[in-house]
Structure 1
Amino acid sequence: MKLGLEGKHALVTGSSNGLGAEIARVLAAEGAAVIVHGRDARRATDVAVAIRDDGGAASVAIGDLATDVGADAVAAAIGDTPIDILVNNLGIYDPEATWSSTSAGDWLDIYNTNVGSSVRMIQRFVPGMRGRGWGRVIQISSVLGQLPAASQPHYAATNAARNNLAASLAHELKASGVTSNAVAAGGILTTPVRELLTGLAPANGWGEDWPEIERNAVAALGPNDVGRIGRPREYADLVAFLASPLSGYLTGATLRADGGWYDH
């Protein structure tokens, strides 16, 4: 499907690896000129080079978005390029975190990164979208924002905030031509996730081959109706649709892409 992204400029935060890199690749394949963001210049450059090798347009912006200085550095690297699509993908998590192991400071730190980074980018790039009369702002959150578990309470809370942020911003931008939405992701099958689950399989009796491990790990850790983990491309395709002119009537929404995840 042609999504009409030719001539658009997209900034994808946290796109030097994982889901962010896949989103950048898909947007570029659809014709957008992509800015790959990260804190590690080498990794971000590798993603941008791979995109260009595939015929896409990509540049790099480096900065720690948990700080105003880092956000300013990203804005300076982008310069006068008009950002039409902002994908706030950057986020951190700690699967071993519990209520007893997280301090109030830990809660503030993760909020600053997972929510504050989005706010910093919105403040720097959305006014330009509003002035031009067109734009797309997309938050990448987690289903845990709606279905929190006992573990990672601070991470779940930041994702609830991301969803709320998207809805509030949509009201702020009403009738401006700029939309604001969130994608609440379930599991994402990145290489580190597959390696982690394969390593955990023997002690948990999940089997030996990957299809069996995946099925049993999903049932134990994040049960859903599809019965598997979401692939990065599946999420990236949804983001590309939200970034396109085809999604113009969709704003203020949190789209759960989680295989029918249910609370266990």
Structure 2
Amino acid sequence: MDYKLTDKRALVTGASSGLGAAIATLLASEGASVVVHGRDKERAEAVARTIQDNGGRTEVVLGDLATDEGADAVASGALANGPIDILVNNAGYYRHLTWTDASVDDWRDTYEANVLSGVRMIKRLVPQMRERNWGRVIQIGGGLAVTPMAGHPHYNASLAARHNLAVSLARELAGTGVTSNTVAPGAILVDAVKDLLTGIAPDRSWGETWEEIERDATAHLLPNDRGRLGRPEEVAGAVLYLTSPLADYVSGAILRVDGGLIRSL
């Protein structure tokens, strides 16, 4: 299937590992020229080399999007070789903290990294999309935005903000050729998640093999209709669709990739 991306340039933030790397790799495999963003030069360049080894077009930009200076550097680097048609705001982080443990500074830092990082890139790149009358803006959100748990409340709230701003942006862009949407993953099998579940499995009697741990952890923590964790490539597939001209009639939407974890009409 032709997703019509061969003449498009995409910036994927936080693309040096995990979901971001999978998204960047898939967009490149479908013909887009992809700017891989990260803060760690070695890891970002490793992702870029993998893309290039498979015939893709890519370049690397580095910078901390939690600061205005870092965002300026990333935007300048991304635009150096041409306009950006597709912005995937994936960069962010979270710490496993409770309401008791999470300080006001933790809340502030999380908001800077998970919300304002995306706002900074929207402010720097979307005006040019509007001038060209075409563009795609994707926020990577999550199910915790609408069904928050007691733990890591600062992270839950930052995801909710991402969902909210994406819809507001879609309203702002009404009548233009630019769309704004959210992809909301459930629990996805990235290295950090696997390490976490493997570490707590013995105390919870979740088995010894990864197959047993994944099955039991899913059943007890995040029960869904598929009975497993999602894979980064499955999230990337949802992003691929929304970035394509084939999704021109989709804006202000939340596309859940969670195995049916969240049940709604």
TM beyond 0.5:
yes
Cα shift readout 1:81-113 (whole Å, capped 9, x = no counterpart): 11000000001111x211001122211110111
Write the distance in 2 (CA, Å) between the matches of 1:97 and 1:184. Answer: 21
1:91 alignment partner in structure 2: 92
Write the distance in 2 (CA, Å) between the matches of 1:90 and 1:184. Answer: 14
Farther off after superposition, 222-231 or 66-75: 222-231
C-alpha contact 1:223 1:262 (8 A) present in aligned 2: no
Shift, 1:208, TM fit: 1.8
3-state DSSP class of the match of 1:86?
strand
- TM-score (normalizing by structure 1): 0.97
C-alpha contact 2:182 2:253 (8 A) present in aligned 1: yes
Write the distance in 1 (CA, Å) between the matches of 2:251 and 2:75. Answer: 25
Farther off after superposition, 131-140 or 70-79: 70-79
1:72 alignment partner in structure 2: 72
C-alpha contact 1:215 1:227 (8 A) present in aligned 2: yes
Write the distance in 1 (CA, Å) between the matches of 2:43 and 2:109. Answer: 24
Farther off after superposition, 104-113 or 154-163: 104-113
C-alpha contact 2:11 2:78 (8 A) present in aligned 1: no
- What one-letter code is carried by the residue in structure 1 that aligns with 2:89? N
- What one-letter code is carried by the residue in structure 2 that aligns with 1:206? W
1:1-264 matches, within 5 Å, as: 1-80=1-80, 81-94=82-95, 96-262=96-262
C-alpha contact 1:68 1:120 (8 A) present in aligned 2: yes
3-state DSSP class of the match of 2:116?
helix
Write the distance in 1 (CA, Å) between the matches of 2:260 and 2:92. Answer: 23
Write the distance in 1 (CA, Å) between the matches of 2:41 and 2:69. Answer: 16
C-alpha contact 2:143 2:262 (8 A) present in aligned 1: no
Cα shift readout 1:134-176 (whole Å, capped 9, x = no counterpart): 1000000110000000001110101010000000000100110
Shift, 1:200, TM fit: 2.1
Write the distance in 2 (CA, Å) between the matches of 1:13 and 1:139. Answer: 10
Count of aligned pairs: 262
3-state DSSP class of the match of 2:141?
strand
- The percentage of counterpart residues that share the same residue type is 58
- TM-score (normalizing by structure 2): 0.96
Shift, 1:189, TM fit: 0.3
Write the distance in 2 (CA, Å) between the matches of 1:39 and 1:208. Answer: 35
Shift, 1:191, TM fit: 2.5
Q: Which 5+ residue runs of structure 1 have no aligned equivalent?
A: none
C-alpha contact 1:185 1:256 (8 A) present in aligned 2: yes
Runs of 4+ in 1 over 3 A off after TM superposition: none
3-state DSSP class of the match of 1:187?
coil
